[in-house]
């Protein structure tokens, strides 16, 4: 493969000495697995022989596919896989298993015809549909949040009452180990179930899903991430893990849930349920879907924290690249509807429909992240999760048992006060922190009067809960990281506040609850590294703007200090998964690289009118799993073939499936006129090429791509610097960017992987290796 | 000119019949003033004759400039100005007097060399400088806000006390007409002064400056808008007009002030003061300046309303196009610093440094807009402003005088209670609304207990103040529209609340102050049409998240209802000024247009090595005031000349000024190596070509543009649809976009004006005419 690559580079020399030179200087990519990373040459089949010698890629085309296979089998070649097949988690690698999404419309003839047919009024209808979808997304997200909240409340209440009764009974008679067993067994059972469905049914539902949604909005396709099945597993999983007493929250997963709901509704059908409602067909493409997923994520935040503005900001800060006012308004609308629905339904559930005092799942929640990092076998994952549930219960029990921190019951907000060895009318303060859902513990730490916790209790709790949360974080359960972070932060924040008053002895530092709030903000900010959106979320969740300024300062400080040492949690996980994620800007020192050094080359090009056989071979070639192919002029041998357009694998698949062939004189195949609808119906699960049968006769037919290709793909010259290429790519959400030479001939193709592999490391610019896994 | 244009189009025919055809079909632009709107052909001077016949623009070049001048004088031609010189305000026109800013870096060799020289550590220094600048912007903006606040408070206090004493005296003894005279005269004097400095010294300081800053961030250069002089006039003007009792606020102008401060500091020098501090030289280009101006605008909002998050959102909603997380954080930082500085200084001023209870200029402000709409002569403008001031005082006086609405003094927050004909211990309620700065009146309407105003008072006040505000809005004074809008809204909102309780007779609708708040939000939202940012600003200004949701609903409704009828105030004014403003998206029905129909053609191209004489002629030609010139290959007659780069007028000017000529064998001119610094020193006020003397000998020299041109300008093919071109242009903040054909030859150039002229009108797509004024 490296040989082939070199051959191509050399062949460029005929064309232009100056420009070919850097190609030669270019170091071969050390980690590029042969045949898949670097696009494989192929070309225009036998016809290419007629191509002009000025065309670099047509020269390549002269190697027939037979020759090529021979070369691949050549024992002198580099081994096809210099890296072992399985290098699952390495932050110096970039995985090739993730495809890109198409956030740039393919403006082919069909698309333009449709757009031109649609008049002003029809566009208004489309616009109204967008708002309707956003409203539906808001309502459904709110309802799902309600469902989670109510079920968790019911189940957790049942569990805590059962255990409390048991503890109360055995405290008097002795034999508290039975209570421990009961508690641990109950937790383990819930988590066992929750972990099982995640590990065996839909592993992508593990964690909070925030990194996955970040990747989706960034333009990376994570398989299964917005499917209905994922939503069902996610919702059940999060209920079970919260009720199972893990150190997790139910708020983060709401973001993922909102996104799935949005992706589903906006398509007007469910592929899993095989139902097509024949509505919203206009929105069946990646660009539109992304916009709705942004709205869904915002609605999720909004439902989780009762923070509609915070939701919009989250969506923008974490996801969007091109700020569009209209989109922002729709997102805002979905957020508002979501929090309103939740509020309304919960108010009805709590008995007063017009109270509207429950804008969010809790006034402080927690999102969590993709797990399955090191334990890979589903069975082991389930065992680990169950173990953690039991250990959590045991650790809590031991701490509560050994705690002598008793507080008067009067004026306290504790839901399930445990008396244990305290005097009558008192409760165990450690139990207030542990024997409760974490949401309620956070609120207790914020609002319980000074003196409700003694420093020893807080210190021990912080320490133990911190380690539990760290361990829990890696489990294969649906869970959020927000609430545990807030809880840990609230505990040490309160401890800090108490210490201050001890040291100074002054009443100036009165309310430890305020310090708990700041500690919670700092801990969470340090973990997820959000600033603007988190400030607003915290402000909205406290329903008090007064704390806005100190929260901002705390979050800004946490971010600056954190960034000195390490990246945020979400970014770390995206990197661990080797996802080709594009950050906001190209690395600062990357001006020394140009498109010529960055691009993949050689590029497989197709001709405007191409043999069906050639197309099938290109698509079937296991060596090339490309998704975009530049289309060039039909070479007539007299002049160089220039770039004419770009066509996607998915489009070719649809064309082949519908047999859109130009008849050969002798055959008389009917040529059916394809419509945009045919492409939309196939979206987003296009069949693989193997499922399409093409007969030997059909292979000899021709396909006219003119109508289907994007006739104006974005291009850059070879001299463009990496930051320039990056900016174009990122701002427009591209998937393929064609690099052309001075004569508009294709010399290379830049894809997401080519850009994502440059990172700023400790010692300057680093180049990540590419891997299949 | 039309002839010339046609000739060119025809000449394209030789090249490609298919592609030339649409050129022919293209309707001539009705309003395009000959010689300036459509770029003038010129070309490569005599050398062009050697060019290949395949090159459309080189064909044009064959017309020598002499021929061209003849043609321009040809009596058969269209008149050069089909529209009269002065059509100042017409929303169907697009003005050509506004230039674009360059938000796309010119990545020429010098720039790349510098970037490549800078290592990782140096980039960190640059980054730190950015933060330092943002901190300074925040501090200075906060201080300016303090200054305005304190001076207004002092002067207004003086005025109201004077008038109040006078009224109190004359109420008993009769002769209140003297009080009226005193009041009217005082107001008129302040406004006379404020209006004079604006009208005669710096007209661009009129209004709030928000539309101008919107345009600046959008990429339109409004002359003088970020100069020091403008800041001084703005600050003095706003103080005088607020003290002069006009229906204006002091908050809007803070946004403009913050922007000027940011633009000034970030450049490390003041061109007006002729001081260069030799710092921050790296930031002397449009791209960097824009980022700082965004931060300045946010700091301004933050200082005006004590709403740092709202400031960031304002900046993003109104200005930014590419959402960048890093930029957002810096903007947020500047906002925070600004509100903190204001808070801190005002707290010290009010006697308690640690109180920090004054986060904004007021907890509800108002921005205003560019005026000078119909009265053009400065003297008349001053007279009008003075008249309005006197009329405002008179109208207020008459209303107060005839009002019989007396309220008890106890528990009221009125600053200057007027007793007039009320019983002792009571005050005139109409006076509470009128005899006060509007900021305080708003707060009274929000917070005074039920019954403080009777419905008649509110109704009359709304009506009169509405008309006063409308009239005031068009004056040549520095003033904001936020506060008057809030005041009007608060008045009818309160009236609405009172009416509700009258009608229902129930105590459910208790507090009219809440309705005042909603009315204020609705009125302001209907006028400026902001949603997300205004929600946050109102939330932060009320220091209460509880009202967030109703405010959102109200703002969303106001926007939807308003949009059915007409655009927002700022957009209307931008349109009235015929500014080539680019909205978020291309008009929905514009897919039928392609780059070919939109672009300006023919294009003046320069060669890589170009005769100095040719360049001077191109730049001097009054017929072509272009600012960007595609650079093409040195044609050797054997092949078509292809696009090689793009060079700006400003760069050429600097090159000519420094006489960067390649020596002719006989002359031996020294060739000095230019550095990027030379370009930065000249930024942003590049001298006109007329000020540069080029001798006849020098005209024969050659200039090598390779090093200075941008070698990778963005290009689009002719087939690209308008929305596609628009998206590229808008997302990347371009100034020139080169349209190339299949062979990478220049066929046209798209500039801001070519895109901004397509609007969605009532009947579908409209094309605006271009005008010089």
pLDDT of residue B147: 93
pLDDT score, position A21: 30
Residue A303 lies in a domain: no
Q: What is the mean pLDDT of residues B284-294?
A: 86
Chain B residue numbers touching A316 (CB-CB < 8 A): 316, 323
pLDDT at B141: 94
Same domain flag for B572 and B597: no
Report the pLDDT value the prediction gives residue A82, as an integer from 0 to 100: 37
From the list B339, B548, B559, which residue is nearest A540 (CB)? B548
CB contact under 8 A, A742 and B642: yes
What share of chain B in percent tops pLDDT 70? Answer: 79
d(CA A21, CA A718) in angstroms, rounded, equals: 12
Q: What is the pLDDT of residues A186-203, one digit of tens each?
A: 889 998 998 888 888 888
The answer to whether residue B279 is domain-embedded is yes
Helix axes A482-504, A512-528, angle to 10 degrees: 140
pLDDT for residue A85: 38
Contact assessment for residue A176 and residue A401, using Cβ atoms and an 8 Å cutoff: yes
Question: Is A492 inside a domain boundary?
Answer: no
- Integer distance in angstroms from the first to the last C-alpha of chain A? 20
Q: Is the pLDDT of residue A137 over 90?
A: yes
* Angstroms from A743 CA to nearest CA on chain B: 5
Pick B540's closest partner by Cβ from A545, A720, A744: A545
Confidence tier at B765 by pLDDT (50, 70, 90):
confident
Residue A309 confidence (pLDDT) above 70: yes
Highest mean pLDDT among A365-369, B316-320, B528-532: B528-532
Note whether B584 contacts A326, CB cutoff 8 Å.
yes
Task: Place A523 in a pLDDT band, splitting at 50, 70 and 90.
Answer: very high
pTM of the model: 0.77
- pLDDT score of A665 more than 50: no
Residue B84 confidence class, pLDDT cut points 50, 70, 90: very low
DSSP A429-481: HHHHHHSS-HHHHHHHHHHSPTTSS-HHHHHHHHHHHHHHHHHHHTSSSB-BS
pLDDT in tens, B635-659: 665 566 788 889 988 889 888 888 7
Q: How confident is the model at residue B413 (pLDDT cuts 50, 70, 90)?
A: low
Measured between alpha carbons, how far is residue A73 from residues A34, A36, A65, A70, A616 in Å? 12, 15, 13, 5, 21
Q: Which of A110, A120, A318, A709 to mutate to test the interface with B (most CBs of B within 10 A)?
A: A120
What residue in A sits closest to B734 (Cα-Cα)?
A728
Interface mutation target, options B528, B597, B712, chain A, most CBs of A under 10 Å = B712
Sign of CA dihedral B340, B341, B342, B345: positive
Q: Percent of chain B, pLDDT > 90?
A: 10
Q: How far is A345 from chain B (nearest CA, A)?
A: 16
Confidence of residue B569 (pLDDT cuts 50, 70, 90): confident
Helix (H, G, I), strand (E, B) or coil at B718: coil
pLDDT, tens digit, 9 for 90 and up, residues B601-611 = 888 888 888 88
* Chain B residues in contact with A644 (beta carbon < 8 A): 742
Q: What is the mean pLDDT of residues A507-528?
A: 82
Does the structure show a pLDDT above 70 at B359?
no
Q: Chain A residue with minimal CA distance to B534? A: A309
Reply yes or no on whether the pLDDT at A316 is more than 90. Answer: no
Asked whether the beta carbons of residue A322 and residue B322 sit closer than 8 angstroms, the reply is yes
Query: Closest partner residue to A545 among B543, B552, B556, by Cβ?
Result: B543
The Cα-based distances of A765 to A29, A576, A580 in angstroms read 15, 19, 16
Nearest CA-CA distance, residue A590 and chain B, Å: 8
- Cα separation, B142 vs B140, in Å, equals 5
CA of A314: which chain B residue's CA is closest? B325
Q: Name residues whose C-beta falls within 8 Å of residue A592's C-beta, 6 or more positions apart in sequence.
A: A765, B115, B116
Q: Could you tell me where the DSSP H helices lie in A53-175?
A: 56-61, 65-73, 109-117, 120-173
Contact residues, chain B, for A731 at CB < 8 Å: 322, 731-732
Give the ranges where B54-119 is alpha helix by DSSP (H): 56-61, 65-73, 109-117
Determine the 3-state secondary structure of B237 from DSSP: helix
Query: Quick one: closest CA in A to B586, which residue?
Result: A324
Query: From CA B7, how far away is CA B753, in angstroms rounded?
Result: 23
- Asked if pLDDT for residue B512 goes beyond 50, the answer is yes
B545 vs A contacts (CB less than 8 Å): 539-540, 542-545
**B384 lies in the same domain as B323:** no
Distance CA B658, CA B670 (A): 11
Residue-wise pLDDT tens digits, B664-686 = 544 444 555 777 788 888 887 78
Residues of chain A contacting B120 with CB distance shorter than 8 Å? 588-589, 760, 764
Higher pLDDT, A515 or B60: A515
Closest-CA residue of A relative to B327 is A584
Token couple for B630: 């595609």
**Is pLDDT above 80 for A555?**
yes
Are the C-beta atoms of residues A662 and A704 closer than 8 Å to each other?
Answer: yes
Residue B256: domain span:
124-182+206-349
Q: pLDDT band at residue B732, thresholds of 50, 70 and 90? A: confident
Residue of A98, A193, A111, A100 whose CA lies nearest to A674: A111
Q: Concatenate the DSSP letters of all residues of B657-669 into one string.
A: HTT--BPPTTT-P
- The pLDDT, as a whole number, for residue A361 is 55
Higher pLDDT, A31 or B593: B593
Strand partners, A347: none
Q: What percent of chain A has pLDDT over 70?
A: 79
Q: What is the DSSP string of B553-615?
A: HHHHHHHHHHHHH---HHHHHHHHTT-----SS--TTGGG-BHHHHSB-S---EESEEEHHHH
The pLDDT value given to residue A672: 59
Confidence of residue B361 (pLDDT cuts 50, 70, 90): low
Average pLDDT, rounded, for chain A: 76
If phi over 0 gives left and psi between -120 and 50 gives alpha, with beta otherwise, what is residue A111? alpha
Tokens for A424, please give them: 């009558």
B599 and B537: one domain?
no
pLDDT of residue A409: 77
Domain match, B566 and B604 both? no
pLDDT digits (tens, 9 = 90+) for A624-634: 677 889 999 87
Residue A662 DSSP class: B
A80-84, A260-264, B741-745: range with highest mean pLDDT: A260-264
Q: What is the largest CA-CA distance in chain B?
A: 100
**Are B20 and B584 a contacting pair, CB within 8 Å?**
no
B482-489: average pLDDT: 89
| Greater pLDDT, A80 or A498 | A498
Q: Is residue B197 part of a domain?
A: no
Higher-confidence position of A573 and B231: B231
Do the Cβ atoms of A588 and B544 come within 8 Å? no
B105 vs A364, which has greater pLDDT?
A: B105
- Tokens 């489309």 locate to A126
Judged by CB atoms closer than 8 Å, whether chains meet at A309 and B715 is answered as: no
Between CA A641 and CA A648, with CA A643 as vertex, the angle to 5 degrees is 125
Task: Identify whether residues B568 and B600 lie together within a single domain.
Answer: no
Tell me the average pLDDT across A345-355. 72
CA distance B481 to B370: 10
Mean per-residue pLDDT for B258-282? 83
Interface test with B, best of A327, A724, A741, A760 (most B CBs within 10 A): A724
Q: Report, as an integer, the average pLDDT of B440-466.
A: 84
Determine contact, residues A611/A641, Cβ cutoff 8 Å: no
Instruction: Report the residue from A123, A552, A589 with minimal CB separation from B589.
Output: A123
Contacts of A638 in chain B (CB under 8 A): none
How many CB atoms are located within 10 Å of the residue A355 CB?
Answer: 13
CA geometry: angle B547, B548, B554, nearest 5 deg:
90
Å from B193 to nearest chain A CA?
39
Q: Are A286 and A685 in contact (CB under 8 A)?
A: no
Among B513, B547, B576, give the residue marking a domain's end: B576
- Residues in chain A closer than 8 A to B116 (CB atoms): 591-592
CATH number of residue B265's parent domain: 1.10.3080.10
Give the SS3 label for residue B406. Answer: strand
B-chain CB neighbours of A325 within 8 Å are: 317, 584
Range name among A393-402, B79-88, B388-397 with the lowest pLDDT average: B79-88
Task: Give pLDDT tens digits for B10-24.
Answer: 233 333 333 333 322
Q: B140 and B54 in one domain? A: no
Helices (H), A176-285: 176-196, 210-218, 228-243, 252-267
Are B82 and B143 contained in the same domain?
A: no
Per-residue pLDDT band for A70 (boundaries 50, 70, 90) equals: very low
Measured distance CA(B237)–CA(A58) in Å, rounded: 69
* Same domain membership, residue B544 and residue B407: yes
Residues of chain B in contact with residue A539, where contact means CB-CB under 8 angstroms, are 309, 545
**Chain A CB contacts of B142 below 8 Å:** none
Residues 6 or more apart whose Cβ sits within 8 Å of residue B281: B268, B677, B680
More confident residue, B370 or A85: A85
pLDDT higher than 90, residue A143:
yes
Instruction: State whether B107 and A720 contact (CB < 8 Å).
Output: yes
User: Shortest CB distance from A732 goes to which of B553, B642, B727?
Assistant: B727
Q: Taking residues A259-287, what's their average pLDDT?
A: 82
Q: Convert B116-149 to b/e letters by CB count within 10 Å (16 or more is b).
A: eebeeeeeeeeeebbeebbbbbbbbbbbbbbebb
Q: In angstroms, what separates the C-alpha of B378 from chain A's closest C-alpha?
A: 37
Asked if B540 and B669 sit in the same domain, the reply is no
Length of chain B: 773
Contacts B559 to A, Cβ<8 Å: 329
H-helix or E-strand spanning residue B459: helix B455-473
**Model confidence pLDDT, tens digit, residues B514-527:** 888 889 999 999 99
Query: Residue A349 domain-assigned?
Result: no
User: Which of B724, B746, B750, B766 should one mutate to test binding to chain A, selecting the residue with the greatest count of A CBs within 10 A?
Assistant: B724
Contact at CB, A552 and B336, closer than 8 angstroms: yes
Cβ atoms of A194 and A477 closer than 8 Å: yes
- For the stretch B487-505, pLDDT in tens is 999 999 989 988 888 887 6
Question: Could you give the number of structural domains in chain A?
Answer: 1
The reply to whether B543 and B405 lie within a common domain is yes
Would the pLDDT of B627 be above 60? yes
Taking the CA of residue B115 and the nearest CA in chain A, the distance in Å comes to 6
Q: What is the pLDDT of residues B140-191, one digit of tens each?
A: 999 999 999 899 888 988 888 888 888 888 877 777 788 888 888 988 999 8
Whether residue B486 is found in the same domain as residue B631: no
Question: Which of B349, B370, B396 corresponds to the end of one domain?
Answer: B349
CATH of the domain at A727: 3.10.580.10
Residues sharing a CB contact under 8 Å with residue B3, sequence separation 6 or more, in sequence order? B71, B74, B76, B77
- Give the per-residue pLDDT at A576: 80
Positive or negative torsion for Cα B739, B740, B745, B747: negative
Instruction: Round to whole Å and give the CA distance between A577 and A773.
Output: 9
* B750 contact residues in A (CB cutoff 8 A): none
Residues B213 and B297 in one domain: yes
Task: Give the span between the Cα atoms of A633 and A627, in whole angstroms.
Answer: 20
Instruction: Specify the pLDDT at position A637.
Output: 56
Where does B174-243 have alpha helices with state H?
Answer: 176-196, 210-218, 228-243
Burial B178-201 (b: 16+ CB within 10 A, else e): ebbebbbebbbbbbbbbbbbbbee
What is the interface size between A and B, counted as CB pairs within 8 Å? Answer: 186
* pLDDT > 80? residue B541: no
Separation between Cα atoms, residue A176 and residue A180, nearest integer Å: 6
Mean pLDDT of chain B: 76
Residue A432's pLDDT band, with cuts at 50, 70 and 90, is confident
Q: What is the pLDDT of residue B357?
A: 54
> Does residue B479 lie in a domain region?
yes
Whether A116 sits inside 8 A of B312 (CB atoms) is no
Instruction: List pLDDT tens digits, range B212-240.
Output: 888 888 888 888 888 889 999 999 999 99
Please report whether residue B609 resides in a domain. yes
Chain B interface disruption, residue of A103, A134, A545, most B CBs within 10 A: A545
Write out the two tokens for A561: 């200090």
pLDDT band at B321 (very low <50, low <70, confident <90, very high): low
Q: Which two tokens stand for residue A749?
A: 């193709």
Angle between helices A482-504 and A455-473 (to 10 degrees): 160
pLDDT at residue B595 tops 80: yes
């Amino acid at each position: 493969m490296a040989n082939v690559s070199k051959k191509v580079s050399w062949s460029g020399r005929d064309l232009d000495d100056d420009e070919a030179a850097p190609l030669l200087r270019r170091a071969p990519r050390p980690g590029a697995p042969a045949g898949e990373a670097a696009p494989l040459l192929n070309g225009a089949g036998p016809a290419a022989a007629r191509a002009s010698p000025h065309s670099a890629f047509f020269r390549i085309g002269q190697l027939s596919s037979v020759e090529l296979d021979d070369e691949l089998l050549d024992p002198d070649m580099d081994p096809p896989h210099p890296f072992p097949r399985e290098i699952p988690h390495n932050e110096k690698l970039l995985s090739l298993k993730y495809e890109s999404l198409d956030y740039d419309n393919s403006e082919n003839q069909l698309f333009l015809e449709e757009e031109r047919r649609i008049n002003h009024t029809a566009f208004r209808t489309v616009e109204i549909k967008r708002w309707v979808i956003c409203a539906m997304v808001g309502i459904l997200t709110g309802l799902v949040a309600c469902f989670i909240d109510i079920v968790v409340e019911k189940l957790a209440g049942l569990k805590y009452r059962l255990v409390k009764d048991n503890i109360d009974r055995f405290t008097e008679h002795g034999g508290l180990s039975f209570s421990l067993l009961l508690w641990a067994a109950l937790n383990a059972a819930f988590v066992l179930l929750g972990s099982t469905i995640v590990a065996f049914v839909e592993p992508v539902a593990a964690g909070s899903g925030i990194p996955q949604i970040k990747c989706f909005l960034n333009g990376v396709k994570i398989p299964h991430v917005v499917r209905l099945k994922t939503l069902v597993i996610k919702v059940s999983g999060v209920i079970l893990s919260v009720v199972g007493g893990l150190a997790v929250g139910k708020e983060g997963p709401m973001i993922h849930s909102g996104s799935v709901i949005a992706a589903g509704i906006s398509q007007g059908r469910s592929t899993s349920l095989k139902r097509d409602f024949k509505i919203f067909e206009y929105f069946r493409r990646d660009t539109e879907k992304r916009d709705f997923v942004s709205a869904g994520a915002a609605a999720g935040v909004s439902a989780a924290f009762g923070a509609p503005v915070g939701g919009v900001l989250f969506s923008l800060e974490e996801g969007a690249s091109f700020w569009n006012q209209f989109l922002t308004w729709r997102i805002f609308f979905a957020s508002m509807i979501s929090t309103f629905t939740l509020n309304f339904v919960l108010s009805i559930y709590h008995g007063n429909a017009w109270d509207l005092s429950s804008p969010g799942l809790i006034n402080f929640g927690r999102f969590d992240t993709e797990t399955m990092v090191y334990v890979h076998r589903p069975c082991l994952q389930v065992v680990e999760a169950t173990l953690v549930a039991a250990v959590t219960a045991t650790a809590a029990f031991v701490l509560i048992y050994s705690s002598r921190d008793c507080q008067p019951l009067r004026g306290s907000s504790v839901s399930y006060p445990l008396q244990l060895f305290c005097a009558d009318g008192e409760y165990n303060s450690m139990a207030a922190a542990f024997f409760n859902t974490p949401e309620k513990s956070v609120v207790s730490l914020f609002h319980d009067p000074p003196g409700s916790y003694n420093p020893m209790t807080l210190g021990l709790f912080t320490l133990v809960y911190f380690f539990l949360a760290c361990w829990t974080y890696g489990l294969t359960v649906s869970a959020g990281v927000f609430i545990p972070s807030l809880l840990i932060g609230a505990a040490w924040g309160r401890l800090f506040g108490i210490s201050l008053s001890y040291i100074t002895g002054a009443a100036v530092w009165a309310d430890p609850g305020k310090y708990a709030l700041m500690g919670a903000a700092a801990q969470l900010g340090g973990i997820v590294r959000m600033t603007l959106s988190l400030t607003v979320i915290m402000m909205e969740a406290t329903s008090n703007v007064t704390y806005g300024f100190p929260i901002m300062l705390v979050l800004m400080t946490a971010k600056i200090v954190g960034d000195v040492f390490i990246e945020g949690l979400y970014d770390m996980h995206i990197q661990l998964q080797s996802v080709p994620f594009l950050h906001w800007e190209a690395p600062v020192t990357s001006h020394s690289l140009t498109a010529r050094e960055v691009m993949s080359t050689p590029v497989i090009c197709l001709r405007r009118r191409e043999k069906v056989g050639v197309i099938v071979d290109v698509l079937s070639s296991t060596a090339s799993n490309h998704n975009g192919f530049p289309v060039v002029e039909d070479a007539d041998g007299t002049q160089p073939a220039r770039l004419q357009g770009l066509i996607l694998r998915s489009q070719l698949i649809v064309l082949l499936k519908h047999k859109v062939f130009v008849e050969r004189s002798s055959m008389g195949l009917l040529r059916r006129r394809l419509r945009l609808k045919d492409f939309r119906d196939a979206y987003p699960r296009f069949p693989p090429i193997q499922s399409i049968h093409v007969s030997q006769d059909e292979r000899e037919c021709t396909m006219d791509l003119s109508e289907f290709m994007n006739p104006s793909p974005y291009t850059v010259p070879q001299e463009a610097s990496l930051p320039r290429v990056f900016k174009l790519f990122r701002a427009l959400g591209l998937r393929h960017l064609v690099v052309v030479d001075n004569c508009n001939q294709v010399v290379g193709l830049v894809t997401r992987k080519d850009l994502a592999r440059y990172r700023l490391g400790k010692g300057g610019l680093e180049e990540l290796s590419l891997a299949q896994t």
